Every structure is written in structure tokens, then in C-alpha cells.
Amino acid sequence: MPRFSLYQEEYHPSPLQHTWLAFRQSHVAVIGLWILGFFATLVVFAPLIAPFDPVQQHTDTLLIPPAWEPNGSIEHLFGTDSVGRDVLSRLVYGCRMTLGISLILVLLAMLVGVAIGALAGMTRGVRSSVLNHLLDSLLAIPTLLIAIIIVAILGVGLVNSMWAISLALIPQFVHNTRDFVRNEMKKDYVTAARLDGANKVHLFFITILPNMVEMLVVQGTMALSIAILDISALGFLGLGAQAPSPELGTMLSEGLKIAYMSPSSIALPGSAIFVMVLSVNLVGDGLRSALRNRMRQ
């Protein structure tokens, strides 16, 4: 439907509006955004949504099947685990912990990575060469393996796994920021700013950083899916969050012990991890396509 204009002026959307209009054309990406918004709602309102305390044990209701099975109970919609804890409440808090911690880790890695990457991209000489070769060697190692090595040094636990994942994500932001800054430093608008007397701090924060927002958004969505998988994998291996913490990877590990008696104990947290990562990837792909279409036009 054409946009109504009282003065019959041609409508020119802002860059953000143009990106949103291009993003909406992908129905799959919009569905992913709605699903991601649902998980974000769980992160914010988990105490109001969860019917029970996630670590509260009900000794009189052990291994109750989900409500859709013949012996299920509507009081415990997704059933209970081997010690009587409500699975729905643990799933809600598990999504909150996994996604919330992943967001914090990505933001931390982005801040540190952008700072180091900008320094590497705007400097020359031996320091820049050493940093670049070190980053290239780190990027050849999977982030999960780096996180496992760091956890092996620091010790198991949720806090140590958070530090490990954030340190493993930093090289990716450094690499992308370094390449972006180097390319932008060769462009005319940066040269004009340098001729006007702008120092390196002014060049980065005023001239280059506004153009990096799109790249950081796309890179952030990719890093978020990696962080979700890594923190769940560390919890599953017993290197991250420890029981009875309601973390999805830890729940999946605990569910393996009773999988033959309660298949839903592994199906539900596994499905939550899958849908969460899928929604993040769909949003990331939609953003990449929208930004690419905007740049072409």
C-alpha cells in the first residue's frame, strides 16, 4: 500500500527503516524474530511465568509424565523429573539463564573485541603484525575447544565457563573489526577527516564507528548462537553450570540418566536449545540479506 503524503513529496525512508522494510520481506526471518522475542520475554518475566520454583522438590510427585500423556497431570504441564522438580519451571528458567548469559557474554566480547580490533586496524608495524598473526592462529581453533581449554585451566563452574566463552568469542570480533577499520581507513571520507586534523580517537568514534553498526549487529547474532551452543555444551559436559542449576545443557545431561523412563526429560531441553539457536540464525540471516539489499540500492 503506497504511503500517504499530504504534500505529494517523495518518501525516502531512513537507513534503519529501509533495513526493517527489507527484513520484513523475508517471512522466515520475521517468524524467527517472533520466536526470539518469545525467548526474550522468558528472560525478562521468568519469575512471573514459571508456576513453581525451579529447584523445589516435590517428593510425592516423582517422574510424572507430561500432561498430554495418559498418566500426566495438568498441575505439572511438562511433568516432573527424578526428584520431583517441575520441568516447565526449569525450562523457563533454563531459557532465561542460557539466553541471558549468552547476551551478556556477547556484549562483553563485542566491547573488548572492537577496542582491540580498532587498535589493530589503525596501527602499523611490528605490533600490528604480531597481533594479526596471533588472531589468525586463534581463529583456526573452534571456540568450544578454546572454552574447554580455559575451563580446564580456571576450573569448572558457571562463572569460569562464562569467562571462557567470552574470551573465546573476542578473537572473532577483533578479526572483523580489524578488517573493517583497515578498509575504511583507505576511503576518501576518512582521508578528508584526517586532513581536517582529526586524531585516531576522533576518527574511530565519530567517523568509522557509525558505519560499523551494521557489521556488529550481524556479527553479534552469529556470536549469540555460538555462545548459546557453547554454554549448553559446557553444561552438558559438566564443565559449566552445576546441578541443580536450571541450565539447559545441565538439564540435558541430567535427563540422560532417566531417558529410558522419561524421554521428555531430554526432548524438551534439547528442543529448547534447537529452537533458540534456530531463531537466532534466522534473524541473523534476515539481517544480512536486508543489509545487503540496502547496500545494493
12-41: per-residue pLDDT in tens? 666 677 788 888 888 999 999 999 999 999
More confident: 240 or 134: 240
Residue 2 lies in a domain: no
Tally of domains in the chain: 1
pLDDT at 44: 92
- Alpha carbon dihedral 188, 193, 197, 199, in 10-degree steps, equals -110
pLDDT digits (tens, 9 = 90+) for 168-187: 898 889 888 888 888 888 88
CA distances from 289 to 16, 26, 57, 220, 253 (A): 14, 9, 47, 15, 37
Average pLDDT, the chain: 85
| 8 part of a folded domain | no
**Euclidean distance between CA atoms 126 and 50, whole angstroms:** 55
How many C-alpha atoms does 173 have within 13 Å on its Cβ side?
28
What's the pLDDT at 297? Answer: 63
Q: How many CA atoms lie within 13 A of 268 on its CB side?
A: 27
pLDDT at 150 over 90: no
Give the pLDDT confidence score for residue 5 in this predicted structure: 53
Q: Is the pLDDT of residue 289 over 90?
A: no
β-bridge mates for residue 86, sequence order: 80
- The answer to the question of residue 3 being in a domain is no
Rg (CA), the chain: 23
Does residue 248 contact residue 158 with C-beta atoms inside 8 Å? no
Residue 1, in any domain of the structure: no
What distances in angstroms separate CA 187 from CA 12, 202, 208, 291, one per listed residue? 26, 16, 10, 20
Task: Answer whether residue 257 is part of any domain.
Answer: yes
Cα first-last separation, the chain: 20
User: Of the candidates 96, 243, 109, 248, which has an alpha carbon nearest to the alpha carbon of residue 165?
Assistant: 109
Peptide bond connecting 246 to the previous residue in cis, omega within 30 degrees of 0:
no
pLDDT of residue 59: 80
**What is the CATH number for 265?**
1.10.3720.10
Domain interval for residue 95: 16-296
Is there a domain that residue 22 lies in?
A: yes
Q: Is 60 exceeded by the pLDDT of residue 261?
A: yes
Contact 132, 171 (CB under 8 A): no
The position carrying cell 558505519 is: 211
In a domain, 132, yes or no: yes
Which amino acid is located at 51 in the chain?
Answer: P
Q: How far is CA 243 from CA 90, 199, 228, in A?
A: 12, 52, 18
Residue pair 272/94 in contact (Cβ under 8 Å)? The answer is yes
Inter-residue contact 228 to 273 (CB < 8 Å): yes
pLDDT band at 46 (very low <50, low <70, confident <90, very high): very high
- B/e letters for 230-252, b = 16+ CB within 10 Å, e = fewer, are bbbbbbbbebbbeebbbbbbbbb
- Is 11 among the domain residues? no
Q: Provide the pLDDT for residue 43.
A: 92
- C-alpha distances (whole Å) from 87 to each of 251, 255, 284 are 9, 11, 30
